[in-house]
Amino acid sequence: MSTLYKTASVASRALKSAGASASASRHLARATPVVSSKKLARRHASTIPPRSDRFARLTQTHVETLRSFLSSPSSLLSTLDGSATVDELASFNSDWLNKYHGKSQVVVKPRSTDEVSKVMKYCYENNIAIVPQGGNTGLVGGSNPVHDELIISLANLNSIRSFDPVSGILVSDAGVVLESADHYLADQGFIFPLDLGAKGSCHVGGVVATNAGGLRLLRYGSLHGSVLGLEVVLPDGTVWNGLSKLRKDNTGFDLKQLFIGSEGTIGIITAISILCPRRSQSTNVAVFSLPSYEAVLKVFGETKKHLGEILSAFEFFDKASYELVKHHQREHGVEVKKVFDNEGDFYVLVETSGSNSDHDEEKLSGLIEHLMEEELVMDGVLAQDATQTASLWALREGITEACSKTGVAYKYDLSTAPSVMYQLVEEMRDRLANEGLLKDDMSGEVKTVVGFGHMGDGNLHLNIVGKEYNEKVKQVIEPFVYEIVAARGGSISAEHGLGVMKAPYVSYSQSQTSIDMMRRIKQMFDPKGLLNPYKYILTPETHAKDGQ
């Protein structure tokens, strides 16, 4: 590829512009599953808790009554009264990875908070278990029924309620798609303080309910800081209007915080109030190759020092991740473009977002010159325009697709202190190699182990790519992966949440004192255990599994 220099001062030595190299889109597509759903269902069967007899089995009479609460006939889909087929309910019953499968016979899609309230009150009185569902883009089985729970979809609660351009406060129904909310804000010069791959499908209520992290956390902080208020329907149908539009309010316990990340277990979020920053005028992206993880840590420190308040992303990926992306391109007949003259063992992507492009470029140039003079990086590429920006981001964001298309990906979303984060990848590789499962030439039962993620947040995505699902491989990985995280005081779920997948493993990241408090909170809000059962913090009412 041609070597284009952005400015003389910026591009000393090897710094080049980015070609339109990597192929993957930044947004998640609903990928064709590489393993049949039957096989996946079987592999997870062993961990599925049995249905609790405490919950009612839905009947046609229930469906008739529920329908009477809804203003539109299309707001209820059920196989019980013939208003839907099993196939029509399939997308509600399964997650987007096609890994978790429920057998719900009823989906309710209320058009107002009042309708949500009436449905929930009825469910409460009749012991009907419920799973709330947003965009259904989660990765831990949190938004699908485990058995026959009634599904309440928030998709029809999809209006922006208000926006105040003086304060930057957006009030929105829970079912507004994240990308729609962000487009609405962009028109007014503002930005939603959270971004993630699934933004074209996920709901703003869902990201709050799961405390999603994503790509803007380094800059704009967590939702615990930016969400100002919530409207929540409690398990018994009571509507809690906590939809504050105040940046400061010290009048009692900050109740909304409990619902942020509660994964639909103590109430259903029907609207959010969130503080949105002004949209940056200028964005720059650069990618560097580095010789070692130690260099990654040093570059992270230098980057924060040089870029200060304009740093908006610091992502990293390892050589195995980059090789896998190239392998995936080759396999699919996509031309593999050369990005770096000097490839390294590690790569980092740095993004700036600021209010003055000249200033931002000068800061970034200063950083690049420093990194090259100090020989902290081996090579670097700076995007010249939006297309190149997208193609550099695709190097990082294409890893997920490359993993799932190359085989079966055992995905772990972990966090530790940045300094010890990469040890998790190395220890996992050693263990798999010692067990004879991982070989250098991708010929092993495990093809590759890749590490990438949000360095700025201490968040590692560890993906172990197997030829096909193998129970032995899984047993070599788990609970070992959780043990090595726990040994470093880390989290077994940095941003994906617990859902049904990680519920049995909470004790690797939470003390018994924490779990006891959480159970009491769950019981206080949802004494009948009707909301999203069999998941999250397991209580004796549904069942308490090992480790809790």
Cα(452)–Cα(457) distance, rounded to whole angstroms?
12
Residues 27, 85, 86, 165: which binds a copy of itself (CB under 8 A)? Answer: 165
Which lies closer to a copy of itself via its Cβ, residue 38 or residue 248? 248
Distance CA 151, CA 123 (A): 11
527 in contact with a copy of itself (CB under 8 A): no
Q: Which is nearer to a copy of itself, 25 or 523 (CB)?
A: 523
By CB under 8 A, tell whether 248 contacts a copy of itself.
yes
Residue number, 245 or 439, with CB nearest to a copy of itself: 245
| Shortest spacing between CB 18 and a copy of itself, in angstroms | 25
CB closer to a copy of itself, 141 vs 444? 141
* 85 forms part of the interface with a copy of itself (CB under 8 A): no
Q: Does 292 bind a copy of itself (CB under 8 A)?
A: no
Cβ neighbours for 458, distance < 8 A, ≥ 6 positions apart: 415, 416, 417, 418, 421, 494
Choose, by CB under 8 A, the member of 164, 373, 374, 430 that binds a copy of itself. 164
Secondary structure (3-state) at 290: strand
| 452 bridge partner residues | 317, 461
Is 186 a binding residue for a copy of itself by CB under 8 A? The answer is: no
The position carrying tokens 């069999």 is 534
Is residue 363 at the binding interface for a copy of itself, with CB under 8 A as the rule?
yes
When binding is defined by CB under 8 A, the residue of 247, 330, 332, 472 that contacts a copy of itself is 247
Residue 242 beta carbon to a copy of itself: minimum distance, rounded to whole angstroms:
6
Q: Label residue 369 exposed, middle or buried (CB < 10 Å: 0-12, 13-18, 19+).
A: middle
Question: Residue 175, Cα to own-chain centre: how many angstroms?
Answer: 17
> How does strand 130-133 pair with strand 150-153?
parallel
- Using CB under 8 A as the binding rule, whether residue 226 contacts a copy of itself is answered as yes
Query: What residues contact residue 133 under an 8 Å CB cut-off, 6+ apart?
Result: 92, 143, 144, 151, 152, 153, 154
Instruction: Confirm or reject binding of residue 2 to a copy of itself (CB under 8 A).
Output: no
Instruction: Please choose, out of 62-70, 101-109, 297-305, 328-336, the segment that lies near a copy of itself by the rule CB under 8 A.
Output: 297-305
DSSP 3-state assignment of 311?
strand
Q: Tell me the DSSP string of 60-96.
A: HHHHHHHHHT-SSGGGEEETTTTSS-HHHHHHHHB-T
Mask: binding to a copy of itself, 196-225, rule CB under 8 A, as x and -?
--------------xx-x---x---xx-xx
The minimum distance between CB 19 and a copy of itself, in angstroms, equals 30
7 lies in the binding site for a copy of itself (CB under 8 A): no
Q: Pick from 13, 27, 472, 520 the residue near a copy of itself by CB under 8 A.
A: 520
Residue 188: half-sphere exposure toward Cβ, Cα within 13 Å:
18
Residue with Cβ nearer a copy of itself (90 or 524): 524
The DSSP secondary-structure symbol of 531 reads B
Q: What angle do CA 499, 504, 505 make, to 5 degrees?
A: 95
483 binds a copy of itself (CB under 8 A): no
356 near a copy of itself, rule: CB under 8 A: yes
Binding segment (CB under 8 A) for a copy of itself, from list 119-127, 375-383, 451-459, 465-473: 451-459
Closer to a copy of itself at the Cβ: 206 or 213? 213
Measured distance CA(145)–CA(280) in Å, rounded: 40
DSSP per residue, 411-447? EEEEE--HHHHTHHHHHHHHHHHHTT-B-TTS-SSEE
Q: Taking CB under 8 A as the criterion, which residues in 12-71 touch a copy of itself? A: none
For residues 310 to 329, the per-residue mask of contacts with a copy of itself, x marking binding by CB under 8 A and - elsewhere, is: x-------------------
Q: Which of 515, 543, 544, 547 binds a copy of itself (CB under 8 A)?
A: 515
Size of the site for a copy of itself (CB under 8 A): 94
CB-based burial of residue 496 (10 Å sphere; 0-12 exposed, 13-18 middle, 19+ buried)? buried
Task: Please give the single-letter amino acid code of residue 467.
Answer: K
Write the secondary structure of 317-381 as one string of H (helix), E (strand) and C (coil): EEHHHHHHHHHHHHHCCCCCCCCCCCCCCEEEEEEEEECCHHHHHHHHHHHHHHHHHCCCCCEEE
509 binding a copy of itself? (CB under 8 A):
yes
Residue 9 contacts a copy of itself per CB under 8 A: no
Q: Under rule CB under 8 A, which residues in 87-116 are in contact with a copy of itself?
A: none
Radius of gyration of the chain (CA): 24
Nearest distance, CB of residue 360 and a copy of itself, angstroms: 9
Of the candidate residues 307, 378, 392, 531, the single one contacting a copy of itself (CB under 8 A): 307
Q: List the Cα angle 390/395/399 in 5-degree steps.
A: 125
Nearer to a copy of itself, 29 or 417 (CB): 417
Tokens of 38: 């039957």
Q: Which residues pair with 316 in a beta bridge?
A: 348, 453
Nearer to a copy of itself, 396 or 535 (CB): 535
Residue 496 lies near a copy of itself (rule: CB under 8 A): yes
- Residue from 175, 264, 354, 407 in contact with a copy of itself (CB under 8 A): 354
Nearer to a copy of itself, 232 or 324 (CB): 232
Q: Please state the closest distance from residue 174 (CB atom) to a copy of itself, in A.
A: 18
Choice between 280 and 384, CB closer to a copy of itself: 280
Q: Rank residues 35 and 420 by Cβ distance to a copy of itself and give the closer one.
A: 420
Residue 540 binds to a copy of itself (criterion: CB under 8 A) = no
Binding to a copy of itself (CB under 8 A): which residues in 394-433? 415-419
**Cross-strand bridge partners of residue 150:** 130
- CA-CA distance, 323 to 340, in Å (whole number)? 13
- Decide: is 262 part of the binding site for a copy of itself (CB under 8 A): yes
Q: Burial level of 521, CB count in 10 A (0-12/13-18/19+)?
A: middle
